[in-house]
Structure 1
Amino acid sequence: MKTVDKIYESIVTNISTVINGEWVKAKLDIEVIGEMVSFTGNYLNNKNETIQIDVDEFDFQLTFDVLELHKITTEGGNNKWNRAVFSVQPDGAFDMEFIWDQELQDEIERLA
């Protein structure tokens, strides 16, 4: 089992690895639905252009890391979330925002 810090490190490493060239900041949107994780993201290069992150290039282990993070952070029923936004800078400084999206949850339940 990885620690929360190791999982954050894994996210930073994956983002940094797939970005080609100089960049200013990157943002990864994460959705967790049961045992499924989806990623979308983009980064701002040094020419002030927003470019999509090729999340298909991420290490497959990252999905399991995010599921582990979800399990750790929602333990005990507190702090439930199904979306998160991970923002990172080239020096490794990052911020993670956990979000509960009731509309997403309602849609999942409706389609189940």
Structure 2
Amino acid sequence: MAMLTETSVGGEVGRGAVLSDEAAVTAYADGFTSPVMGERLRAAYDAAEVPTGSVLYAAVVSVGCDAPTEVTVAAGPDGLDVEAVPVAAPQQECFAPMTTVALVEVPAQVL
């Protein structure tokens, strides 16, 4: 699992996608307002070693003043639910919102 956090790149919590190939990574990265998140997504995708029968799934888990470091993953009725574990000491305000994307490896059959 990887957690990618960048400032002022946009995104919407819950927006997720299977990163099955470079085209899928590019399509997902196009949803952010800065190429920085796309570059980090591509690097994480390239470094990932996903075993047969599993897929790499990316989801925006936070947009705000905090950068979560953990997520929970569960199969829900509408697909995969990837949610940030709340940080212990949340910030009350910040200069600019940070977007955190979680990359998780999941069994292909849960999608």
Which bracket does the TM-score occupy, shorter chain normalised?
0.3 to 0.5
Question: Which TM-score applies when normalising by structure 1?
Answer: 0.43
Question: Which TM-score applies when normalising by structure 2?
Answer: 0.43
Q: Which has the higher strand share?
A: 2
* Structure with bigger gyration radius: 1
Q: Which has the higher helix share?
A: 1
Kindly indicate whether structure 1 or structure 2 has the higher relative contact order, using CA contacts under 8 Å at least 6 residues apart. 2
